[in-house]
Amino acid sequence: MEKFQLWAEPWWVNLLVLVPFLVSWLWRRNGLLLAKRQLMVLSIFALSFGFVEAAVVVYLRAAIGLLPGYHGTLFDIQHSPAAYQQQSSVAAVPPGLLTIEVVREAATMLMLLSVALLAAARAAERWALFLWAFAVWDISYYAGLWATVRWPMSLKDPDVLFLIPVPWIAQVWFPLLVSGLSMAAVAFSRKSAGQPTV
């Protein structure tokens, strides 16, 4: 069983925990003019995209032989005696595929940013919708991995969060916490269209 680790690596990744508090403080005066429909539609996109990202990771791991039981059924993958090990996969990815993985990560961020830019007119709402989409996508990604390969087995499982510009390593609870805080910051900063600004 993994020991709980408070810090992510490199050290500056830990600063992501501050982002939801910072933006919430910035949005406190005017609030966010976001309709429930915007959040719902963006959530549908992010949930779907998160599962697609999880599927890509599963396919990549299967292609390079790191996914036990992948020649059988989904049940065989989920119940393989050799457990899927996400943290060991980065070192085993061939350099060519690792390059594609880095580009895929950049494309993912651009896609999430693009839908946020299309979904709102003002900068504050665009930034909020990006955080919302990113958070829902991230949670959906881990849910998709668990649904398919039963990983993570614990919130203390280590993961490679991103590869840009260097690998970001943290236990699974860390990105889920940042995502949950980001969603809460957007939800609590949202105001109704008819509500006066302070």
Burial 79-105 (b: 16+ CB within 10 A, else e): ebeeebebeebeeebeeeeeeebeeee
pLDDT tens sequence across 23-82? 999 998 899 999 999 999 999 999 999 999 999 988 888 888 877 777 778 777 777 766
What does pTM read for this prediction? Answer: 0.89
- CA gap 31, 110 in Å, rounded: 25
Q: What percent of the chain has pLDDT over 90?
A: 67
Q: Which of 1, 12, 48, 36 is nearest to 170 (CA)?
A: 12
- CA gap 96, 131 in Å, rounded: 31
Give domain limits for the chain. 32-189
Q: Which of 172, 163, 174, 176 is nearest to 107 (CA)?
A: 163
Coil, strand, or helix at residue 153?
A: coil
- CA gap 72, 87 in Å, rounded: 23
108: tokens are 């993912």
Yes or no: say if 70 and 60 are a contact pair by the CB < 8 Å rule. no
Taking residue 198's Cβ as centre, other Cβ atoms within 10 Å add up to 8
- Mean pLDDT, the chain, rounded, equals 89
